[in-house]
């Protein structure tokens, strides 16, 4: 029966390994009976959503809105996103998180006989979406571990060289900053690459961690859309806006690309509370500034303390740091779990000696550092 049930499944699906998210707090509590848990595994905003968002959701739930379907077009949210970026609403597609956008792209542009290009040590959804469509993955080697500037970072010269050899590439994913490494690309390197990409190849610039970058490092990607119609930029409300539990993301692209995305987008892929939360979140940029300020100061603290322990860290412009312990990371990960600290092992990314740690509050980071010192001792 098992063979019969899988007989007509796509080959890419049969050989696919499902995405494994960061461990939920409840799971650790069930597994080890630990009540006081700190989760630093999924790059969530430790401040949570804006208080204005919480108030708006509470007011909405108190009414009768949940009995009605949401606005399938996301009209009000698109209006605010368009105003923020100075573009037309026809250039915007809404997703159930930005990974929804990445899946749309693979469904439209990938498939048998086509290839998708991305870097080694990049976001796990890229290879998953590629394989699910039975497309070929062109994995560009990352910069070497010994690179003095950006170890394990995207190698754009390598992207350009690989592109010349693969005329079947239809879609390119670039993460800036990249998850799980935290590494980033200077704006001029990204634009130099865009200039050599043929116009029929879509370049998806994944900017989930954009707001955490130093302002001087942020590319003006909305402006690039006019020059490079094959560019798509994806953003999310899951990180700096603190709405990971509600799942809202969006894409900025040429209207033709947006039209294709909306053809495969599921009806009502954003629920009413998610749309409302995102709208209100955009109005509270002070909360965003507070989240960025906390992340900047606490990330620097983590880098200083971890470096003082003699640990090697990858450079990061995101809301996490990735640590190389130069030995199997599993026992360290387990030791932290036993002390109520959830971090993210990197074995599934091909980095078995690494752990990724989200930047939490000052108190959460202090608990992590104390627990790590104890485990390493």
Question: Of 180, 183, 195, which is closest to residue 155 (Cα–Cα)?
Answer: 183
Q: What is the pLDDT along the chain (377 residues), one digit of tens a residue?
A: 568 888 888 888 888 777 777 788 888 888 888 889 999 999 999 999 999 999 999 999 987 788 899 999 999 999 999 999 999 999 999 999 999 999 999 999 999 999 999 999 999 999 999 999 999 999 999 999 999 999 999 999 999 999 999 999 999 999 999 999 999 999 999 999 999 999 999 999 999 999 999 999 999 998 999 999 999 999 999 999 999 999 999 999 999 999 999 999 999 999 999 999 999 999 999 999 999 999 999 999 999 999 999 999 999 999 999 999 999 999 999 999 999 999 999 999 999 999 999 999 999 999 999 999 999 99
With a CB cutoff of 8 Å and minimum separation 6, the contacts of 62 are none
The tally of CA atoms less than 13 A away on the side-chain side of residue 190 is 27
CA–centroid distance for 49 within its chain: 18
Count how many residues are written for the chain. 377
State the CATH class of domain 51-284: alpha beta
Q: How far apart are CA 43 and CA 36, in angstroms?
A: 19
Helix axes 25-32, 330-338, angle to 10 degrees: 80
Beta partners for residue 140, in sequence order: 119
Rounded Cα gap, residues 44 and 108, in angstroms:
30
Residue-level pLDDT at 19: 75
Inter-residue contact 167 to 138 (CB < 8 Å): no
- Rounded to two decimals, the pTM is 0.94
- Classify domain 20-43+286-376 at the CATH topology level: 3.90.1150
Q: Write b or e for each residue in 260-287: b if 16 or more Cβ atoms lie within 10 A of its Cβ, otherwise e.
A: bbeeebeeebbbbbbbbbbbbbbebeeb
Calpha distance 62→85 (Å, rounded): 33
Contact (CB, 8 A) for 49 and 243: yes
Beta bridge partners of 136: 115
User: 82: Cβ–Cβ under 8 A, 6 or more apart, which residues?
Assistant: 88, 89, 91, 92
Q: What are the distances in angstroms from CA 11 to CA 135, 168, 319?
A: 11, 20, 36
- Intervals of CATH 3.40.640.10 along the chain: 51-284
Q: Which CA distances in Å does 294 have to 285, 291, 313?
A: 14, 5, 20
Q: How far apart are CA 50 and CA 166, in angstroms?
A: 46
Asked if the peptide bond before residue 180 counts as cis, ω within 30 degrees of 0, the response is: yes
Q: What angle do CA 91, 95, 98 make, to 5 degrees?
A: 95
Maximum separation of any 2 CA atoms in the chain, in Å? 58
Residues 6 or more apart in contact with residue 284 via CB below 8 angstroms: 50, 52, 53
DSSP conformation letters of 125-177: HHHHHHHHTTPEEEEEPPPPTT-SS-TT---HHHHHHHHHH-TTEEEEEEESS
Distance in angstroms (rounded) separating the CA atoms of residues 173 and 38: 32
- Between the CA of residue 115 and those of 15, 121, 192, what are the distances in Å? 17, 18, 22
- Domain(s) of CATH 3.90.1150.10: residues in the chain: 20-43+286-376
Give the helix/strand (H/E) hosting 321.
strand 320-324
Q: CA 197 from chain center: how many Å?
A: 23
pLDDT for the residue numbered 303: 98
> Alpha carbon 22 to chain centroid distance?
13
The per-type count for the chain, helices as H runs and strands as E runs, is 15, 13
Q: Name beta bridge partners: 345.
A: 355
């Amino acid at each position: 029966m098992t063979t019969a049930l899988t007989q007509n499944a796509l080959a890419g699906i049969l050989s696919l390994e499902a995405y494994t998210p960061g461990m939920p707090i409840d799971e650790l509590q069930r597994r080890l009976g630990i009540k006081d848990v700190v989760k630093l595994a999924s790059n969530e905003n430790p401040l949570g959503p804006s208080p204005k968002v919480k108030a708006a959701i509470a007011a909405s739930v108190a009414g009768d809105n949940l009995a009605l379907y949401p606005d399938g077009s996301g009209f009000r949210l698109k209006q605010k996103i368009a105003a923020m970026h100075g573009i037309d609403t026809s250039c915007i597609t809404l997703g159930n998180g930005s990974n929804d956008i990445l899946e749309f792209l693979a469904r439209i542009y990938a498939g048998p006989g086509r290839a998708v290009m991305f870097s080694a040590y990049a976001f796990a959804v890229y290879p998953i979406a590629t394989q699910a469509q039975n497309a070929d993955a062109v994995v560009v080697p990352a910069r070497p571990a010994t690179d003095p500037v950006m170890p394990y970072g995207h190698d754009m010269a390598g992207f350009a060289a690989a592109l010349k050899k693969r005329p079947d590439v239809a879609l390119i994913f670039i993460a800036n900053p990249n998850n799980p490494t935290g590494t980033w690309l200077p704006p001029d390197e990204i634009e130099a690459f865009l200039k050599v990409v043929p116009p029929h190849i879509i370049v998806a610039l994944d900017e989930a961690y954009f707001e955490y970058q130093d302002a001087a490092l942020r590319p003006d990607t909305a402006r690039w859309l006019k020059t490079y119609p094959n560019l798509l930029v994806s953003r999310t409300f899951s990180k700096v806006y603190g709405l990971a539990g509600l799942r809202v993301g969006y894409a900025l692209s040429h209207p033709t690309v947006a039209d294709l995305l909306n053809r495969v987008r599921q009806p009502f892929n954003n629920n009413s509370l998610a749309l409302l939360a995102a709208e209100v979140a955009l109005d509270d940029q002070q909360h965003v500034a507070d989240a960025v300020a906390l992340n900047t100061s606490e990330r620097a603290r983590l880098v200083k303390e971890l470096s003082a322990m003699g640990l090697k860290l990858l450079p990061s412009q995101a809301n996490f740091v990735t640590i190389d312990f130069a030995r199997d990371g599993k026992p360290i990960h387990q030791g932290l779990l036993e002390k109520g600290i959830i971090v993210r092992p990197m074995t599934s990314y091909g980095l078995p000696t690494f752990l990724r740690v989200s930047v939490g509050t000052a108190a959460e980071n202090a608990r992590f550092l104390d627990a790590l010192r104890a485990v390493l001792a």
